[in-house]
A and B are shown apart, each in its own frame.
Chain A
Amino acid sequence: MIRFLARRLLASLVVLAVVVTTCFFLMRLMPGGPFDLEQSPDPVIRANLLAAYDLDAPMHEQFARYVEGLLRRGDLGPSLRYRDYDVSEILAESLPVSLVLGGSALVLALVFGLGAGALAAARRGSAIDTAIMSLAGLGLALPSFVVAGVLVLLFAFHWQLFPVVGFGSPAQLVLPAVSLAMPFAATIARLFRAGLLEVLAEDWIRTARAKGRSPLAVLWIHAARPASIPVVSYLGPAIAGVLSGSLVIESIFAIPGVGTHFVESALNADYNLALGVVIVYTVLLTVANLAVDLAYNLIDPRMDDGLGGGAADEAVPRRGVAAP
C-alpha cells in the first residue's frame, strides 16, 4: 500500500512537472501579450512594463526563475492582469468559493443521481424509469447556461424565492449549485442504473432474493456496492471538474470563483495566474483519481491489484471530463 502510494505520488509529480513546463511555454507562444490594450503603450513604457515583470528575459531564464520561485518559496508570482494581487492571494480568495459551490453541487449530484438511478433500475421498463432516463438525457443535453437561465427566470424573477446573483448566503448557493449539479446528476443516474441492472442479473443476487431478502435490501445492501464502480470511476475527473469551478455558472450568477480565471487568465495572457490555476486543477485531478483508485479497494477487495489500479480502468472505461 505504501509502495503504491509512493509510486503514485512520484508519478503525479512527474505529471505536474510536464503540465507546468508545457503550459509555461505554450502560453508565451500565443499571440498577444499581457500588456496589449486597444491603446498601445509607448514602446519605451512597454519595455519598462515587461522589465518590471521580468518578461523581457529569454524564455528559458524566465522558466528557471519561475521554477526556482515555485520550489523554493511556493511563489506563484504576481498576477499580470490584477496587479494588486499575487496569484496565491487570488487563489486563496477564489478557491474556497469554488470548493463550496462545487462541493454542494457534488452532494446534490450524488444524492439525486444515485437516488434516481436506483429508482429507475428497480422499476426497470416502467413509466418511472422512462421518465427518469428522459430527464437524465435532458440534463445531459441542455447546456448549463440554458438550465441556469431558466432557473433564474423561474425562481428569481417569477417566484422570487432565491437571489438572482451573488455568493455568501446559503440561499444564494441554491440556484448555481443546482445548475452546476444537473449534468453530473444525470450522468451518475445513468451510470448507476446501468451498473445496477448488470449486477441485479447476477446469480448471487438471485441467491439473495431466494433467501428472502427484501427488494430494498437486495438493492442497497447487495447490489449497490458493486454497481457503484462505474460511478466511482466517473467521480475522479468529475470531482476535479466540479470543484475547480465553471465559467458559465460563475458568470451567470456573478460568483467570484476560480473557474472564470481558468479561461480569462489565458485570454488576458496573464501567464502567472493561468499557470496557477492549471497547477490547482492538476493537483485536484491527481488527488481525486488517487482517491478513486483507493476507493476501488474498499468497494471490491477482489480488485486489489495493489500496484496501479489498471484492472478497474479497463473494466469500466472512464468518462473523461474535459477541463471546465
Chain B
Amino acid sequence: MAGLSILSSRPTLSRADLAFCNQSEIGSLDPAIASGSSEGRLLGSLFEGLTRANPDGGSPLPGVAEAWECSSDGLTWRFSLRPDARWSDGTPVTAEDFVFSWLRLLEPHTAARYAYLLWSIEGAQEYTTGGAGSPEGLAPEGMASDGDAPGGDPSERSPPGAESPENIAAEALRRQAVAIEATGLHELQLTLKRPCPYLPQLASYHPLAPVQRACLERHGEDWIKPGKLVGNGAFVLAERRLRDRIRLVRNDFYWDAAKVALATVDIFSVEATTTQLNMYLTGLVDWMVKPPPALYDVLLNQPDAHTGPQLGTSFLRFNVRRPPLGERRVRRALALALDTESLARNIMRGGESPVDSLIPPGLPGYDPASMGPSDPEAARQLLTEAGFPGGNGLPVLELLYPHTAATADFCAAVAETWRRELGLSIRLVNQAFEVYLDSTISGRYDVSWGSWIGDYLDPSTFLEAFLSGSGNNRTGWADPVYDELVGRAAGLSDSAERATLYRQAEQRLLDDAPIAPLFQRRNIQLVSPRVQGFVDNLLDVHPLRDLAVSGPPP
C-alpha cells in the first residue's frame, strides 16, 4: 500500500496558519469568470479592486484607490490610485490595468457572467451585447434581450466567433466608445449613463478587480496556474489541487503587507457537510461554512457557532401564467395563510427570522415594504371572493422544490398549512437542483421554492430580479408600473429619493404577490476561537487579510 501511494506523488503540505473548508471547488480563479460564494471567499485575497470589502460588511475601504470622488450629477467618477500598489511580481498597478481589465470583463469573448456590473458606464452594455443594449439605458439582467430592443434577439446576432472584418471593426468601435479612461498613470475616470451610488461597493467585488495584461499575454489560458498567476491582492497562489485544496501565501509586494497577519492559508474544497465537520472537530480546519442542519440543535448552542443574518430571502414563486394563480387574490390568499413565524422557527431551526418582504431588513438607508402579517382568516375570505370558497373548485397545485433536506421539510409544512387553512390539495414535486432550475426558468411549475441572495447593499440587487424581462423573475409576472419605478429609481443619485421609489416598487410587488416571502436566510458557520477578526455580516464577507490566529493549531 505504501508502495502504491508513491504513484500519486504529492508532497504532504504542512498545516497552514489558517485553514478553512470552502463548500465547493471553485469554478475559476479568473476574477472575470468566477461566480459564486465559494469563489468570493478567496478571490478578493488574490486580486484587489479599487476598493476592498470591509471586514464588518459595511462601506467599502480604500483598496488600490486611495480616494475617489463623484460629480454632483452622479455621472462622473474619478478614482486616485495609490502609487505604492504593486503586482505580485513587483511591477506597479496603474490606471491602465483597470482599463484593460474592465474592457476584458465587458468583452463578449470573455463571456463574463458579471459583465453587467459595469453596464452603468457609458457604452459598456453596447460593447458586451454587440450593440443590443436597451435604448433607454437601464441595464438590469434580462432587459437587454427584450424582444423590442433592436437586434435584441441573441440568436439573430452574429456570434462572437464570427470574425469578419466588419465585425472586428464594429467591435473595435464599440470598445473605444466605453467611457473608462486612464487620465493619468494613477488616475481613472468613468463616465456613467445613469448614476450608480453603490459603485464603490461594486468596485470591491472580485469581477471588478484588475488582472495583469503581461501575465495573460505570456501564459495564455494557463495564466491562472500556480507559479504563473500574478495578482495584486494580499496573498498569492502557491498550490492548487483540484477538489482538494488551494494554498495561499502572503504577497510581500502587497501595499499593506505589513498589516497582513497570516503567512499561509489553506482552503479546502469539501462538499460533504459531515466531512467538513469531522475536519473542524479534529482541528484540521479553523472555519467551516455549512454545518450539517441535522446537528443544528447541538452545534448552534456552542460558543464557536456564528449565525448572522444574510442578505438573502427565501420565498415561494407563483407561476402567474397558470390559472388560478393568475388571479391576484388567490396568490395573496396562499401567501397570507402561511404562519412564517412558526415555519421558520420549527422547520429551519438555524435561527431564521420570518419576513414579509422580498428585501430583508438590514440594508442601510432602506426600510423594506410589507405584505402584511400572516392572517388565515383574511386568506379564506380572499379565496371566497376569488370564487373558491373553502378551496372548492381549485385544481391540485404542484409545489416544486430542489431536493435538500431543509427545503423538503419546509415545503411539506407549507403544503400541510394550505390544506388545513384553505382546503387546498397540493402535490409536492422534488427535483435535482439543476432540473429544478430548468423547470423554474422555463415556467414548468405552479408554485416553486425560490431564494435570492443580494450581491451588494442596494435594493436594486433584489428588485431588478423581478423586472418583467429579467431571467430571474421566472413567475411570468410583468408590471409596467413596477418596471417604471425601478427604472426611475436607478436613474436617481439622491439616495433618499431612490429609497422611496424602490420601496414603492417593492410594495407593488408584495401587493400583487407573484411571490410569498418566507424568511431571511442566515450565514451559519463554525469558527474556532483561535481565529481573530471574524465579524458576522450581511454579505458574509471575511477578507483573509483582516483575519488573524492566536496560538498554534489544535
Contacts and interface: CB of A to CB of B under 8 A. Distances in A.
Q: Do A and B bind each other?
A: yes
Interface of A: 31-33, 35-49, 51-52, 56, 81-85, 90, 93-94, 96-97, 99-100, 103-104, 107, 152, 156-157, 164-170, 173-174, 177, 251-254, 256, 260, 267-269
B441 A36 contact: yes
A45 B27 contact: no
A84 B35 contact: no
14 contacts: A32-B434, A32-B435, A32-B437, A39-B35, A41-B471, A49-B111, A51-B160, A97-B8, A167-B244, A170-B1, A170-B5, A251-B272, A254-B270, A267-B432
A83 B2 contact: no
A45 B112 contact: yes
B533 interface: no
Interface string B216-254: 000000001100000000000000011110000000000
Given A49-B113, A164-B282, 6 more contacts: A42-B116, A43-B145, A44-B128, A93-B241, A103-B4, A252-B274
B29 interface: yes
Contacts of A47: 154-155, 157, 159
A82 B242 CA distance: 9
A260 B243 contact: yes
B181 to A, nearest CB: 24
A256 B272 CA distance: 13
The 4 closest A-B pairs by CB, nearest first: A40-B471, A47-B154, A32-B434, A43-B145
Contact of B437 (A37, A99, A170, A251): A37
B244 A83 contact: no
B397 interface: no
A44 B140 CA distance: 12
Interface centre among A45, A83, A177 (most CB of B within 10 A): A45
Given A32-B438, A177-B1, A267-B434, A164 B129 contact: no
A101 to B, nearest CB: 9
A82 B27 contact: yes
B142 interface: yes
B115 A45 contact: yes
Interface in B137-176: 141-142, 144-145, 154-155, 157, 159-161
Contacts of B8: 96-97, 100, 167-168
Contacts of A46: 154, 471
A78 B4 CA distance: 29
Given A40-B142, A269-B434, A254 B5 contact: no
Contact of B275 (A32, A83, A165): A165
A48 B129 CA distance: 9
A83 B35 CA distance: 11
B439 interface: yes
A40 B109 CA distance: 19
Interface in B412-443: 432-435, 437-439, 441
A170 B155 CA distance: 55
Contacts of A254: 244, 268, 270, 272, 275, 279
Nearest to B158: A51
Given A31-B434, A173-B1, A251-B272, A43 B224 contact: no
B1 A42 contact: no
A104 B432 contact: no
Contacts of A82: 25, 27-28, 242
B462 to A, nearest CB: 12
B199 interface: no
Interface string B282-316: 10100000000000000000000000000000000
A44 B144 contact: yes
Nearest to B225: A84
Contacts of A32: 434-435, 437-438
A192 to B, nearest CB: 22
B10 interface: yes
Given A81-B27, A156-B278, A254-B275, A45 B10 contact: no
B12 interface: yes
A287 B468 CA distance: 56
B158 to A, nearest CB: 10
B196 to A, nearest CB: 17
A169 B5 contact: yes
A169 B416 CA distance: 51
Nearest to B223: A84
Nearest to A96: B8
A315 B330 CA distance: 67
B278 A173 contact: no
Given A41-B471, A252-B275, A100 B4 contact: yes
A39 B471 CA distance: 8
A48 B275 contact: no
B160 A104 contact: no
B30 interface: yes
Contacts of A104: 1, 4
B116 A173 contact: no
Contact of B472 (A35, A39, A166): A39
A36 B142 CA distance: 14
B493 interface: no
A40 B474 CA distance: 10
A42 B7 contact: no
Contacts of A38: 437, 451-453
Contacts of B25: 82
Contacts of B111: 45, 48-49, 51-52
A252 B292 CA distance: 13
Nearest to B115: A45
A89 to B, nearest CB: 8
Interface centre among B9, B243, B268, B438 (most CB of A within 10 A): B243
Nearest to B1: A104
B33 interface: yes
B36 interface: yes
A216 to B, nearest CB: 27
A51 B128 CA distance: 13
A97 B157 CA distance: 45
B108 interface: yes
B161 to A, nearest CB: 6
Contacts of A251: 271-272, 275
B319 to A, nearest CB: 16
B472 A40 contact: yes
